[in-house]
Amino acid sequence: MIILFTDFGVASPYVGQMKAVLLADSVDSSNTTIIELFSDAPSYNPKASAYLLSAFVDEFPLDSVFLCVVDPGVGSDRRPIVMRANGRWFVGPDNGLFNVIASRSHSVKFWEITWKPTGLSSSFHGRDLFAPVAACLARNEAPPGVELEKSEVINTDWPDDLAECIYIDHFGNVITGIRAQSLLEDEQIVINNHPFCKARTFSDVPSGTAFYYENANGLVELAINQGHAANQLNIKLGEKIKIVKK
């Protein structure tokens, strides 16, 4: 199973181009499952994307390969890397995208990708470099690179949870980088001076009521029952969240 996590958008050819490489390079394309998990991860924002990605990996089987490209530094001297964390593979840029997963995992290894394709564009490493390496891992081959120390990759200055809005879904619900279990009973979420009450789910509050809840992936999510929270409360990606005592 190969899982795609990118900020490429749904109205572009880039995901399709990567999928074509993955299938062409697989041993048996009929048995290769490719899942487009996110094509609209926070654009140009590896940090927000790192907290989002971390919340979704545990539902996938061991030995799954995550092909992750949120890469504003493509073509620069940032390293291309492979990470093995808690039995799953991750391929992408060394720009913090895997930082949160690595810091929360009990078993982590890193490799710098040293293999280079015959043709490597300066602007599309997702297709030219990361996709072939992801296919290599899906074929149960070793990472094509040299092993790195964890301390060479992980940024230990990042917080355990990110008190920001990191994703807005189709319904206008706002996913934050805060794990719901990290909140105390006497703490409350405030954004744009608007306090959010806590509820178990949408039907527990009246229509039009703003609230927060623990979403299906364990993160704090802000919503309005039968409303568009992002538009109605003018919430944008990157908006800071306050956690205050009730």
pLDDT digits (tens, 9 = 90+) for 103-133: 999 999 999 999 999 999 999 999 999 999 9
The pLDDT of residue 9 is 93
Residues 6 or more apart whose CB falls under 8 angstroms from that of 221 comprise 173, 174, 175, 176, 212, 213, 214, 215
Q: Which of 97, 123, 152 is the last residue of a domain?
A: 152
Assess whether 17 and 117 both reside in one domain.
Answer: yes
Assess whether 131 and 238 both reside in one domain.
Answer: no
Assess whether 148 and 166 both reside in one domain.
Answer: no
Assess whether 180 and 239 both reside in one domain.
Answer: yes
pLDDT at residue 28 greater than cutoff 80: no
Percent of the chain at pLDDT > 90 equals 87
What residues make up the domain containing 197?
162-245
Q: How many domains does the chain have?
A: 2
Assess whether 78 and 137 both reside in one domain.
Answer: yes
The pLDDT of residue 29 is 72
pLDDT at residue 155 greater than cutoff 90: no
Assess whether 136 and 167 both reside in one domain.
Answer: no
Mean pLDDT computed over every residue of the chain: 94
Q: Please state which of the ranges 90-99, 180-189, 228-237 shows the lowest mean pLDDT.
A: 180-189
Q: Which of 152, 178, 195 is the last residue of a domain?
A: 152
Assess whether 96 and 6 both reside in one domain.
Answer: yes
pLDDT at residue 73 greater than cutoff 90: yes
Among candidate residues 169, 42, 45, 181, the one with its CA nearest the CA of residue 104: 181
The pLDDT of residue 185 is 84
Assess whether 107 and 188 both reside in one domain.
Answer: no
Assess whether 129 and 179 both reside in one domain.
Answer: no
pLDDT at residue 30 greater than cutoff 80: no
pLDDT band at residue 156, thresholds of 50, 70 and 90? confident
Q: Which of 129, 152, 175 is the last residue of a domain?
A: 152
* CATH code of the domain containing 143: 3.40.50.10790
Is residue 130 situated within a structural domain? Answer: yes
pLDDT band at residue 69, thresholds of 50, 70 and 90? very high
Assess whether 193 and 232 both reside in one domain.
Answer: yes
160-203 residue pLDDT tens: 999 999 999 999 999 999 999 999 888 889 998 889 989 999 99
Assess whether 37 and 117 both reside in one domain.
Answer: yes
